[in-house]
Amino acid sequence: MEHEDFDEFVAARWVPLFRLAYLLTADAEAAEDLLQTAMERTFARWPTVVRAEAPEAHVRRLLVDAVIADHRRGARPREWLRAMGPKRAVPAEKEEEDAARGHLLLWPLVCALPERQRAALVLRYYEDLSESDAAAVLGWSVRTVRSEAHDAMRALRRGLAATSTEAVDG
């Protein structure tokens, strides 16, 4: 069979790459589509991919590119986070971190981030890539990665603060 090592690669790395795709898209159906397409493109260039770099890094970059490209094409940004906004002055950073009670509270806020910010966070905090490695995957400068991640974290803090305030109010 043509490129049997490709099947081995898919079998070994499908689940972790699907999980990455899910975190990038926040949508299981979209993640499946993205990964299927990325794998097809990888198979189309398999000899070159194997020669040039680790296949997993190649697929990872295709996934990230696709998510960011969807954003560029005009997929409507998710405005939920900004629409909510903090109802009161944003508390100090320590207080905000205290407000992060439980992981489940964070995921909806991550989903509401713009695709670029979410991609930066997922690569930095899920894939544990350094800023320079994340920049290489995203095709951005290190400064841009830092800026997007910073904006994303600030949005998360504000979201947590708003949620905390609502809980107190309620």
Partner 1 sequence: MTLDDELRAALAEQAARREGPAPDTAAIRAGGRTIRRRRRRLVVASSVLAVLLVVGAGLGLAAGVRETRDADVPSGSASGVGASTRVPWCVPDEDRNGGQLIVGVGAPIRTVCRADRSVTLWHHAGTTVLTRHGTTYRVADGRLTPLGHRYGDVVMSHDGRLAAWLDLSTTGTSCGVLPMEVYEVATATEVAMTQVEADSCAHLAGIDDLGRVYVASAEDRPGVLDVRMFDTRTREWTRVVDVPAPSGYGLITYVTADGFAVQIAEHTTSRPYDSATRPLASLEGRVDTAGRFVAEQEVPIGRGRWSPDRSLVVDQQPEGVVVRSADLARRLALDLPPDLFQARQERLPEADLLWESPTSVLAVSGLQAGSPVYRCDVRSGSCEHLDRLGQPALGNGAHPAGDPNPVRPDS
Options 41, 61, 82, 146; binder of partner 1; rule CB under 8 A: 41
Options 57, 82, 125, 146; binder of partner 1; rule CB under 8 A: 125
Q: Which stretch binds partner 1 (CB under 8 A): 1-9, 53-61, 130-138, 162-170?
A: 1-9
Q: At 133, phi and psi to the nearest 5?
A: -70, -40
How many other CB atoms sit within 10 Å of the CB of residue 72?
9
User: Could you give the CA distance from residue 170 to residue 166 in angstroms, rounded to a whole number?
Assistant: 6
Position 39 contacts partner 1 (CB under 8 A): yes
Among positions 5-24, residues that touch partner 1 (CB under 8 A) are 6-7, 10-11, 14-15, 18-20, 22-23
User: Measuring CA to CA, how many Å separate 117 from each of 33, 49, 51, 69, 122?
Assistant: 21, 28, 31, 13, 9
Position 167 contacts partner 1 (CB under 8 A): no
Position 44 contacts partner 1 (CB under 8 A): yes
| AA letter at 143 | R
User: Could you give the CA distance from residue 69 to residue 84 in angstroms, rounded to a whole number?
Assistant: 26
Position 63 contacts partner 1 (CB under 8 A): no
> Closest separation between CB of residue 89 and partner 1, Å?
19
| AA letter at 25 | T
**CA distance from start to end of the chain:** 63
Contact residues for partner 1, defined by CB under 8 A = 2, 6-7, 10-11, 14-15, 18-20, 22-23, 27-37, 39-46, 66, 69-70, 72-76, 96-97, 100, 103-104, 106-107, 110, 121-122, 125-126, 153, 156-157, 160
